[in-house]
Amino acid sequence: MTSLPNPTPGAKKLGLVIDLDTCVGCHACATNCKEWNTSGHMAPLPDQHPYSAAQEGVWFNRVHAYEAGDGDEGRTVHFPRSCLHCETPACVTVCPTGASYKRAEDGIVLVNTDMCIGCQLCAWACPYGARELDEDQGVMKKCTLCVDRIYNETIPEERRVPACVSTCPANARHFGDLGDPNSDVSKLVAERGGYELMPEMGYQPVNRYLPPRKASSQVKSAPKEAGPLPSQINNPLLRWMDKVLSR
Amino acid sequence: MKPAPSIVFFTVASGAGYGLLFWLGVLKPLGLLPANTLFGATAAIIALALIAAGLCSSLLHLGRPERAWRALSQWRSSWLSREGVAAVLTFLPAIIFLIALAHGETSLMLPAGLLSAVGAAVTVYCTGMIYASLKPVKEWHHPMVAPGYLLFASFSGAALLAMLSGFWGGGFFPALVAAALGMAALFFKRAYWASMDATPAASTRESATGLGFIGTVRPLESPHTESNYLLREMAFRVARVHAAKLRSIALLLGFALPALFFCLAIILGGGLAIALGVLAAASALAGLLVERWLIFAEATHTVALYYPTPR
Amino acid sequence: MPDGSTTDRIAYSAPIGDEVKTTTCYMCACRCGIRVHLKDGRVRYIEGNPDHPVNKGVLCGKGSAGIMTQYSPARLQAPLKRIGPRGSGDYAEISWDEAMEIATSALRKVRETDPKRLAFFTGRDQSQSLTGFWAAQFGTPNFAAHGGFCSVNMAAGGLYTIGGSFWEFGEPDWERAKYLLILGVAEDHDSNPIKTGLAALKKRNAKVVSVNPVRTGYSAVADEWVGIRPGTDGLFVMALIHELLRNDRVDAEFLVRHTNAHWLVVRNPGGADDGLFVRDADGKPLAWDRAQGAMDAAAADLSPVLVGDFTLPDGRKTRPVFHLMAERYLGAEYAPEAVAERCGLDAERIRRIATEMADVAFNQTITLDQPWTDTLGRRHEKMVGRPVALHAMRGISAHSNGFHTCRALHILQMLLGAIDTPGSWRYKAPFPRPIPPGPGPAGKNSKPNTPLAGNILSFTHGPDDLLVNDDGSPIRIDHSFSWEAPLGLHGMMHTVIGNAAKGDPYKIDVLFMFMANMAWNSAMNPLETIECLTAKDESGEYVIPTVIYSDAFFSETVPYADLILPDTTYLERWDCISILDRPIGSSHGPGDAIRQPILKPDRDVRPFQDVLIELGARLGLPAFTKEDGSARFKDYADYIVNHERMPGVGPLAGWRGEDGSAKGVGKPNPDQLQRYIENGCFWRHDFSAEESYFKHSNKLYLENAKAMGLIGKSDQIVLQIWSEPLQKFRLAAEGHGAKQPPEALRERVRTYCDPLPIWYAPLEQEAHDTSGFPFSAVTQRPMAMYHSWGSMNAWLRQIHGANRLYMSRAKGEAMGIAQDDWVWVESRNGRVKGQVTLMEGVNPDTVWTWNAIGKRAGAWMLTPDAAEAERGFLLNHVISEWLPAQTGPRLANADPITGQAAWYDLRVNIKKCAPGEEGVTAPHPSALKPPPNMPEPPDILRYNAGGKAS
């Protein structure tokens, strides 16, 4: 059924928390995702015209850059965008074949590419652009939250996180259970005012974005020091003349 | 949204087919159409042919058409699946109806015709709901979209029926229906556009990124320098000046002229009425192709908010 | 019907690959440790090595795309011999035997006659300790890597001032800093540690201030962005110094204990000793003691006076360094008001930043309960730190005033007491080193068949160390270590080809290059460089007779070489990130690393280092041959293990000694590489807590560092506010000493060799009328394309396939330039065409673009219509290697002290393209022809190293 699993309180909701305050826009999450997944569960992630004009490919994670606000007061914000593993994902419910599904056990939204007919309705239904059409195979693909990594017992436990999280040099990506209010990620969201993208769509994305901190909250404004202007003292150097110093 | 020719043709052709089937199924058993068996069979065959052609065309849109059968499985949740199921199910009464028409089996004609009509209506409604249920496209996620599909299908079906009835000398009633529906469609479409134009988008760059608290959000760099599937598919938008022109063409060709021609046909009658019926039907279908193209080309998807506005 | 979950087979317990090997990344210069997973003989996945000290498990966007570099269709396939004219791309494949024979005979002839006529220059190769040693063995002084056009200003500025540098020999105290000021840092050394460090700082709510004309990357996440005008950073820094001095917010105790602030300077204008330190008979600098007068500046019981004029018993007049320094920077010309407009900043803001820094340094002090002993043997119970850290890079470096700006930054750090203290900037092992270290550069007397004694790239202490002829003319082909660049310690690769073509100071026979795309993005002006490479003399011979080039890829430079020696990829060879070069040490301790071959090359290619070692043997270079004339080393791996630069000191410091137990110094260990492999291909040694700070004055640290061979002496390293070597050059320019600059350069040397940092407008801007060129133009390195080598990569070129010219939205709109418009960028040197993006976060008088995205049509096995060639452009086309023509010698567009290429001094005008000019960039040189037998690039790439069957 591409009906959604019944919501149960306390159900596991695996997802990402992306810190826009520290993301420097290095694209590590994007390329590491690509290299993991092109040989991973939804392999391959093909590239069209890789060595000619109009090069493009399937990427599960894409990093935008925006400017918010004007001039000096504004901010440049790097903004990675991938599947948000919504609680009520229309990409699943619109799927006519059942290829799209949301897992009851952890909330991950996946596509069974053997069943997908490539009607692309899920891509239309996703407000966030998380669906990626493999035009070579004619099937839809998407972020798997590295389902073949996060449960993989052959990987050391502390590395059992999505590739994008384990590679992020700026510690801007966090993975965990957002269904558990006591998880590290939930606490981080609460502490930093993590938000949903386009809440007005009502899809209840699981992933959260942590806003860039306001510069003003950062600047511990130093006490203003009213030092003398050089012109106000005859010889400013004299202040050091009698300074007794020891080595 | 990119107007895929296969989808534009599909919704217009199968819409007209289902509309024709609907009116045939309702009016024929009621005796409001020419009694000739050849008329009945011809009309039913044309309806089914349009439906089949439309459905085949829609398969072209699929990445894996050989797996299309899988689309019948998720009728409990997916409007697309429902559309498929309804389309397939409608073929059953429709074929029986065709046989009844061809053989003049009046006892079968009524139940088969009515069931076909119901199937046609349900199928078109499902088609409409596929679009109407898509929240990211505000032009589609609109209460007038699904009724619109029903209205335009019934109008184009009526137009075809009126044309065919004309050939067999019984075009009065269908022409009346077609003219009335044409006028209704015209006002309906205008009302839809007015509503659409007046409704601001619920989502903005600021809500898409959550960065509105800082100020105006402007894209600085896209993830990749070249295009991608989503941009080609979702960020297509017809230029405003062209859209205005095309809207007028759609209204004129699609609804106003057919309604006028059918009115004239009713008044003038005879051979001229037959010719006017052909003209009206052709004009309606042509206009609906434009209308349907605009349905896509004017639709905006929230994905486009993440990218720079194309110049 | 059931949904896809019931039949979707997810491999929950499939190992990532069949095997995993560790090595060191080489997608950029950061030297992260990686784990390479292989499946069915192909690379399945490359991830950061969690145990590695550099990246601790993370890996950047470029490193993560290594697979596409490994399998690039642009990889050269076999040695090539040119059979058509240079640039034609007509090549014949030859065997390695033939290739080595050609190279050997060309090089042998040079070595037998005049070794100088070989110019051997490498790009950002990480085997400079080998390549430099090889060049010295060959006997040519004409060797350098790419440092001269990269960041020598930072290296020289640091090494001559604090004995370390921002560049690769120091780092902020990421764990403890409370205030970080970064200047001119876009993506830069060292990329991943900066990212992890910034994240750590932000987690602690430390404040990050970024001074940069452009708000991208690190500036984007900074708490405050200071959008300065390019080239004015020095003024900004000196205004900060002015403010600290004005408010007496300086750490005088730190200054007298760790710097030369109290040293006495001779005041004898016009005299031969003017500006030199007052020294005793043993050469020890003197200070003025409050009670006893002049005495040893290093004495423990000294109570030094910082300000005043003192007359020595012999009548010489003197003044302490601090006095001279304070006097200069308290000058009205360095007041915030005086510099604000030029910097494009508010005076109030400059004052606030100075106040904030002082507040953090002096009111938010960090005190560690960690006893330590200084070089005078005095025990200190605590380590007191000033938690203000600085980092500065290319944006400072790539200006012709960058050396002095960098020195000013170090003086700012010293005034705050923020050098290698808790929370401040810290040395990375094996630094600090003596200021300046070692003997001067080798190369004065190159003779046939004779190695040069010493290091070619070393440190000049004064005019005597310069590599100049008696008439003052340069000895080196690039004019490094001449009066044009007395501190040119990384060479000047940007001038080599131009000088060789002009025969200035002489013609060369062989140009031998490795991994340097000099016919494209590595040249300041590519088309001029191509002209030099293809120039012929009257007899129809190429002016540069032989060009030998080694590269792994079909880069734009390949078609201009006569002999191509195809290199391997970084996953196919041994390498060492040598302790003798730029190792992976950190503030926590020294370290070095290796690369091991992960894959066997599937082409007829050889690692360049193997080739170089074999050439050394074929040429009979003493260090590369045994007594019987046979090759001393089988290959690079053999060299790494068995080469000893000094007894017990080799390329790698780890697991030395026959049993592998020695660190730093020890006999070669035949199992050394295996031990590295077992440890993840790196070695590190952690300092004890007592050794961790104040390393320049920390007895325990200095003694241990000496024992480990990191430094030669365990004396205190006194930080140099006043730079005596610079004063020596100045004195020569003033007419003192045997070696003096030629007349044409005398004034230049006198002006710029100032022993205290100065600011001057960038040379290029002063040398021509900039009124028609209102904008500064700079480049930044995109993180996903940091370092341009091997940068044609199927994934990365999707991220950066073309580049835009970015400019201020307000400025653009005022000029009638809209988003996506095509414009001409015009400079005194020419014009280049590109497409505009308007933005908010850029200094309004600055335009910029991403570096090295544009490619020449046809190169790198891209189709000629590729975005890189059509819409990608190089700003290089409007830059020049040379300053505007003036009387006297042709001078490099470079820093007058270090020879650092002044990429960012560029001034331009922006003009909207005429209708019809849009769409394709210009200049757009003809498409290059690929070498023979290159693979056909696919139209669809379905890379899948054995995951789920596709």
Q: Chain A residues with CB inside 8 Å of B71's CB? A: 96-97, 117, 119
**DSSP secondary structure letters along chain B:** ----HHHHHHHHHHHHHHHHHHHHHHHTTTT-S---HHHHHHHHHHHHHHHHHHHHHHHHT-S-GGGGGGGGTTTTT-HHHHHHHHHHHHHHHHHHHHHHHHHT-HHHHHHHHHHHHHHHHHHHHHHHHHHHT-TTBTTTSSTTHHHHHHHHHHHHHHHHHHHHHHHTT--HHHHHHHHHHHHHHHHHHHHHHHHHHHSPPS--HHHHHT-TTTS-EEEEE-SSSS--HHHHHHS----HHHHHHHHHHIIIIIIIHHHHHHHHHHHH-HHHHHHHHHHHHHHHHHHHHHHHHHHHHT--BGGGGGSPPP-
Extended beta strands in C775-855, E state: 775-780, 804-808, 822-827, 830-839, 846-850
* A6–chain C Cβ distance below 8 A for any pair: no
Provide the shortest C-alpha distance from residue C174 to chain A (in Å).
13
Nearest residue in B to C806, CA atom: B220
Do the beta carbons of residue A207 and residue A18 sit within 8 Å? yes
Confidence (pLDDT) at B239: 84
- State residue B168 phi and psi, 5-degree precision: -100, 15
Residue C663 DSSP class: S
Q: Using the beta-carbon criterion (under 8 Å), do A30 and B223 form an inter-chain contact?
A: yes
Do the beta carbons of residue C525 and residue C892 sit within 8 Å? no
The pLDDT tens digits of the residues spanning C693-722 come to: 999 999 999 999 999 999 999 999 999 999
Confidence (pLDDT) at B237: 84
The single residue listed with the structure tokens 């494009």 is: C344
* A40–chain C Cβ distance below 8 A for any pair: yes
**DSSP secondary structure letters along C189-209:** SSHHHHHHHHHHHHHTT-EEE
CATH number of the domain bearing residue A31: 3.30.70.20
Nearest residue in C to B219, CA atom: C839
Distance of CA B259 to the CA centre of its chain: 18
* A17–chain C Cβ distance below 8 A for any pair: no
- The shortest CB-CB distance from C50 to any of A159, A220, A227 is to A159
Q: Using the beta-carbon criterion (under 8 Å), do B224 and A201 form an inter-chain contact?
A: no
Confidence (pLDDT) at B171: 81
Mean pLDDT, rounded, of chain C = 96
Which of A97, A111, A164 should be substituted to probe chain B, the one whose Cβ sees the most B Cβ atoms within 10 Å? A97
Q: Using the beta-carbon criterion (under 8 Å), do A200 and B228 form an inter-chain contact?
A: no
Which of A2, A6, A24, A216 should be substituted to probe chain C, the one whose Cβ sees the most C Cβ atoms within 10 Å? A24
Distance CA C722, CA B47 (A): 95
Distances (CA, A) of C885 to A85, C880, C889, C903: 63, 11, 9, 17
Residue B194 neighbours by CB under 8 Å, 6+ apart? none
Confidence (pLDDT) at A220: 47
Do the beta carbons of residue C126 and residue C507 sit within 8 Å? no
Confidence (pLDDT) at C870: 98
Distance CA C114, CA C401 (A): 36
Q: Using the beta-carbon criterion (under 8 Å), do B226 and C798 form an inter-chain contact?
A: yes
Q: Chain C residues with CB inside 8 Å of B311's CB? A: 819-820
Q: Chain B residues with CB inside 8 Å of C837's CB? A: 220-221
Do the beta carbons of residue C798 and residue B224 sit within 8 Å? yes
Distance of CA B43 to the CA centre of its chain: 19
Domain ranges across chain B: 5-306
Provide the shortest C-alpha distance from residue A132 to chain C (in Å).
15
The helix or strand, by DSSP H or E, that contains position C225, with its residue range, turns out to be strand C224-226
The single residue listed with the structure tokens 């004034």 is: C747
Confidence (pLDDT) at C949: 42
Q: Using the beta-carbon criterion (under 8 Å), do A247 and C304 form an inter-chain contact?
A: yes
Q: Using the beta-carbon criterion (under 8 Å), do A140 and B230 form an inter-chain contact?
A: no
**Other beta carbons less than 10 A from residue C344's beta carbon:** 19
**DSSP secondary structure letters along B222-284:** -SSSS--HHHHHHS----HHHHHHHHHHIIIIIIIHHHHHHHHHHHH-HHHHHHHHHHHHHHH
Angle made by CA atoms C875, C880, C884, in degrees to the nearest 5: 135
Confidence (pLDDT) at C437: 86
Do the beta carbons of residue C741 and residue C891 sit within 8 Å? no
A:177-206 residues touching chain C, CB 8 A cutoff: none
Do the beta carbons of residue C16 and residue A43 sit within 8 Å? no
Report the phi/psi class of residue B262: left, alpha or beta, with left for phi > 0 and alpha for psi in -120 to 50.
Answer: alpha
Mean pLDDT, rounded, of chain A = 92
Q: Can the peptide bond before residue C430 be classed as cis, meaning omega within 30 degrees of 0? A: yes
For the cut 90, the answer to whether the pLDDT of residue A225 exceeds it is no
B:194-223 residues touching chain A, CB 8 A cutoff: 202-203, 205, 207-223
The pLDDT tens digits of the residues spanning A32-56 come to: 999 999 999 999 999 999 999 999 9
Do the beta carbons of residue B56 and residue B50 sit within 8 Å? no
From the list A146, A67, A70, the residue with the least C-alpha distance to A106 is A146
> Which two tokens mark B65?
């058409």
A–B interface: beta-carbon pairs under 8 A = 204
pLDDT per residue, tens digit, chain B (311 aa), is 999 999 999 999 999 999 999 999 999 988 899 988 999 999 999 999 999 999 999 999 999 999 999 999 999 999 999 999 999 999 999 999 999 999 988 899 999 999 999 999 999 999 999 999 999 999 999 999 999 999 999 999 999 999 999 999 888 899 999 999 999 999 999 999 999 999 999 999 999 999 999 999 999 999 999 999 999 999 888 888 899 999 999 999 999 999 999 999 999 988 899 999 999 999 999 999 999 999 999 999 999 999 998 77
Strand partners, C589: C586
Strand partners, B18: none
**Other beta carbons less than 10 A from residue C298's beta carbon:** 17
Residues of chain C with confidence (pLDDT) below 50: 948-950
Provide the shortest C-alpha distance from residue B17 to chain A (in Å).
22
Residue A237 within a domain: no
- State residue C101 phi and psi, 5-degree precision: -65, -45
For the cut 70, the answer to whether the pLDDT of residue A131 exceeds it is yes
Provide the shortest C-alpha distance from residue B225 to chain C (in Å).
6
Confidence (pLDDT) at C190: 85
From the list C803, C761, C805, the residue with the least C-alpha distance to C908 is C805
Distance CA C474, CA C481 (A): 8
Percent of chain C scored above 90 by pLDDT?
Answer: 94
Distance CA B7, CA B238 (A): 17
Residue A229 within a domain: no
* Angle between the N-to-C axes of helices B145-167 and B172-198, in degrees from 0 to 180, rounded to the nearest 10: 160
- The shortest CB-CB distance from B215 to any of A69, A81, A125 is to A69
Provide the shortest C-alpha distance from residue C6 to chain B (in Å).
14
The single residue listed with the structure tokens 């899988």 is: B70
What pLDDT band is residue A238 in, cutting at 50, 70 and 90?
A: confident
Nearest residue in B to A122, CA atom: B134
Class of domain B5-306: mainly alpha
Q: Using the beta-carbon criterion (under 8 Å), do C801 and B224 form an inter-chain contact?
A: yes
> Which two tokens mark C171?
């780092």
Mean pLDDT of A153-160: 94
Q: How many separate domains does chain A show?
A: 1
Q: Using the beta-carbon criterion (under 8 Å), do B225 and C802 form an inter-chain contact?
A: yes
Distance CA A83, CA A81 (A): 7
Which of B211, B218, B220 should be substituted to probe chain C, the one whose Cβ sees the most C Cβ atoms within 10 Å? B220
Q: Using the beta-carbon criterion (under 8 Å), do A64 and B302 form an inter-chain contact?
A: no
Q: Can the peptide bond before residue C895 be classed as cis, meaning omega within 30 degrees of 0? A: no
The predicted complex's ipTM stands at 0.96
Handedness of CA A67, A69, A71, A75 (dihedral sign): negative
Q: Using the beta-carbon criterion (under 8 Å), do A124 and B226 form an inter-chain contact?
A: no
- State residue B186 phi and psi, 5-degree precision: -60, -50
Angle made by CA atoms B222, B225, B228, in degrees to the nearest 5: 85
- State residue B22 phi and psi, 5-degree precision: -60, -55
Angle made by CA atoms B304, C870, C515, in degrees to the nearest 5: 110
> Which two tokens mark C394?
């290319």
Count of alpha carbons within 13 angstroms of residue B105, beta-carbon side: 14
Chains with ≥3 CB–CB distances under 8 Å to C: A, B
Provide the shortest C-alpha distance from residue A180 to chain B (in Å).
23
* B77–chain C Cβ distance below 8 A for any pair: no
Q: Using the beta-carbon criterion (under 8 Å), do A245 and C939 form an inter-chain contact?
A: no
Domain range holding A130?
14-220
Distance CA B57, CA C852 (A): 47
Q: Using the beta-carbon criterion (under 8 Å), do A26 and C16 form an inter-chain contact?
A: no
- The shortest CB-CB distance from C820 to any of B225, B226, B311 is to B311
Distances (CA, A) of A209 to A1, A23, B308, C37: 30, 11, 21, 32
Confidence (pLDDT) at A235: 76
Provide the shortest C-alpha distance from residue B127 to chain C (in Å).
21
Nearest residue in A to B129, CA atom: A94
The pLDDT tens digits of the residues spanning A195-219 come to: 999 999 999 999 999 999 976 544 4
Residue A136 neighbours by CB under 8 Å, 6+ apart? A46, A48, C940, C942
Distance CA C453, CA C438 (A): 13
For the cut 60, the answer to whether the pLDDT of residue A223 exceeds it is no
SS3 content of chain A, % helix, strand, coil (to 5): 25, 20, 60
Report the phi/psi class of residue C32: left, alpha or beta, with left for phi > 0 and alpha for psi in -120 to 50.
Answer: beta
Burial class (CB in 10 A: 0-12, 13-18, 19+), B131: buried
Distances (CA, A) of C652 to C22, C130, C663, C680: 17, 12, 9, 14
* A220–chain C Cβ distance below 8 A for any pair: yes
The single residue listed with the structure tokens 């009016």 is: B27
Provide the shortest C-alpha distance from residue B231 to chain A (in Å).
9
Count of alpha carbons within 13 angstroms of residue A14, beta-carbon side: 21
- State residue C119 phi and psi, 5-degree precision: -110, 115
Distance CA C840, CA C831 (A): 25
Distance CA B164, CA B33 (A): 10
* A85–chain C Cβ distance below 8 A for any pair: no
